[in-house]
Amino acid sequence: MSSNRTIALIYSEKDDQQIEGGVKGWVTNFHKFLSTLMYQITRENPVIKLINESNFSASELDDYNVVIAVVTPNLAKENLIIKSINAHGKRLKSQNKLLADGVARIFKVLKRPYDPDAHLDELEDLLTYDFYLVDPLTGDPQEFTRFFGSDAERSYWMKLVDMAYDINHVLHAKEVIDGEGSYDTIPREKTVYLASTGVDMVIQRDIIKRELIRHGYKVLPDHSLPKEAKALERMVRDDLDRCRLSIHLVGEDYGYKPRGSELSVVDIQNRVASDHTYQMVEKNKEAKDGEKELFSRLIWVSPDLKNVTERQKIFIEDLKSDAAALEEAEVLQIQLQELKTIIREELVTGGRFNVRRNIKGLDQEEKNEKTKMIYLIADKRDVDSIDDIQSYLKKEGFNVVSPSYEGDLVDLRYIHQENLRRCDASIIYFGQATEDWIKTKLQDLLKAPGFGREKPLSAKAVYFQGQKDVDMEHYKKNNAMVLGNNGGTFNPEHLKPFLTKIES
């Protein structure tokens, strides 16, 4: 392999036809943009040579540090090129040089959805770089013909920047002796499983992945996922064994189904991660202090769901129910920026496994056993509407605590969990909040033992401010009392059943 920093960009001439409107071909634009980014990143000018069927030479592949193949049906018909790339990959694997500090030297680029594995079987484990959009409503792929605009900025350019950094990583990777200091030696505590997603969450996943890598974390899977269900499950289990945290992003798309399964790849990964979480909990029960291997699971449900199928609704509800049973699993329906904060907290400070700490907004006084504590949970939009309830409960001699609404998200989350741990009973106020938000808080009440709660709640209730068109069976199943629901102003009589239950 040449010591010069040279890159081969292999494509079929048919994939570089002029785009309508006189725009140069897809590959020509890709080459120009990538060359510009490589210079901006490195302040060098690595040579990116355009190679197609007219100037291809199999004997020259070993002269390049990086090989990029734009894999399409057109390129697949070029037998010499495909056979040579396969042989090149096989040769690099035999020399243990296919990966340069965790990043492959051969890049598979897709300008449209295509399965390259049938042709490049030696490279089937390598991730693809997908430079196209998929309409989340119709599932139709959209090839980029316009390279500027909001869609291109969020998808095409973000992927291109990632790829440029990966290429730069390969070009500057140092030879490692006995694996010391290499990508493969990144410890379990800095390794994260970031599950593959439905088509509508691909951009969000890329954002999280980029953030993790930027902070020095190893992100799995770092290979393509098997297309057969049993092989997929084995690979996910193996990857999770190497991780401290798994992250699952859930949107409107249920995901594609691998061979041999009626469940999607998104669903299978969640189920395997759930099983792994339970296994880690049991394992840590037997382990001595200092020998426990912490593992937690974050499930992010997009707060912007609109076109959700019944199948997806059931999947999301199953996720919430499953996560409610364990402290080590949590469903979050917050903004993506807030999710990134939670991930950092989980990895850097230990998150929910962290020791108790002093935070502004948290009542640190020792709990008076004679005074019952009621946790009155309300959305920020309803904070002024709970004054009457709060005042009445305090007048009746109860210690009333509420969520904190200002400050760092991680601290607010900790305050919420501490209130769940310490309170004797809880009321969730259902005013302007969505029913999904109410259901999430009910799940939090179920999970309270996971935050260190030692005895059951004396009572839990949802206070309805006004008529709500909801399924009352859900509240009965959660053993939650339903209060109010008459559309009028607050009446102390509304709380009597709740207070009677506390006193009993």
Alpha carbon distance 327, 304 (integer Å): 26
Check which CATH number belongs to the domain holding 465 and give it: 3.40.50.10140
Q: Residue with structure tokens 């909040």?
A: 433
Alpha carbon distance 467, 332 (integer Å): 27
CA atoms 57, 58, 62, 67: torsion sign: positive
* Whether 251 and 223 share a structural domain: yes
* Whether 32 and 170 share a structural domain: yes
Which of 144, 163, 183 is the endpoint of a domain?
A: 183
* Whether 132 and 259 share a structural domain: no
Beta-sheet pairing, 141-143 with 132-134? antiparallel
Structure tokens at 389: 């309830």
* Whether 236 and 337 share a structural domain: yes
Alpha carbon distance 109, 71 (integer Å): 6
Question: Based on the structure, what is the number of domains in the chain?
Answer: 3
Residue 409 lies in a domain: yes
Q: Which amino acid is at 22?
A: G
Q: How far is CA 193 from CA 189, 200, 205, 223, in A?
A: 11, 19, 11, 12
Alpha carbon distance 446, 451 (integer Å): 10
Q: What is the DSSP letter of 360?
A: T
**pLDDT for res 2:** 47
Residue 51 lies in a domain: yes
* Whether 85 and 155 share a structural domain: yes
Give the phi and the psi of residue 140 in degrees, each rounded to 5: -80, 135
Which of 328, 355, 382 is the endpoint of a domain?
A: 355
pTM for this predicted structure: 0.66
Do 193 and 246 touch, CB atoms closer than 8 A? yes
* Whether 344 and 473 share a structural domain: no
Structure tokens at 78: 């070029």
Q: Which amino acid is at 17?
A: Q
Q: How much is the CA Rg of the chain, to the nearest whole Å? A: 27
Bridge partner list, 462 = 428, 482
* Whether 208 and 304 share a structural domain: yes
Best CA proximity match to 218, nearest among 246, 190, 198: 190
* Whether 177 and 193 share a structural domain: no
Q: Which amino acid is at 184?
A: D
* Whether 229 and 307 share a structural domain: yes
Residue 360 lies in a domain: no
Give the phi and the psi of residue 201 in degrees, each rounded to 5: -110, 10
Residue 368 lies in a domain: no
Residue 196 lies in a domain: yes
Alpha carbon distance 250, 237 (integer Å): 20
Torsion angle of C-alpha atoms 312, 315, 321, 327, degrees rounded to 10 = -100
* Whether 258 and 121 share a structural domain: no
- 10-residue averages of pLDDT along the chain (504 residues): 75 88 82 90 85 93 94 94 95 90 89 88 88 74 75 77 88 58 73 91 86 86 89 95 95 90 94 94 84 89 87 89 81 85 79 54 55 91 90 92 79 82 90 84 76 79 84 79 76 89 84
Check which CATH number belongs to the domain holding 134 and give it: 3.40.50.2300
Structure tokens at 267: 């669903």
* Whether 391 and 304 share a structural domain: no
Alpha carbon distance 168, 65 (integer Å): 10
Q: What is the 3-state secondary structure (H, E, C) of 436-497?
A: HHHHHHHHHHHHHHHHCCCCCCCEEEEEECCCCCCCHHHHHHCCCEEEECCCCCCCHHHHHH
Alpha carbon distance 206, 210 (integer Å): 6
* Whether 39 and 170 share a structural domain: yes
Which of 355, 385, 419 is the endpoint of a domain?
A: 355
Check which CATH number belongs to the domain holding 325 and give it: 3.40.50
Residue 287 lies in a domain: yes
Residue 200 lies in a domain: yes
Q: In degrees, to the nearest 5, what angle opens at C-alpha 214 toward C-alphas 213 and 219?
A: 5
Residue 365 lies in a domain: no
Bridge partner list, 110 = 130
Structural domain span for residue 50: 1-183
Beta-sheet pairing, 66-70 with 99-100? unpaired
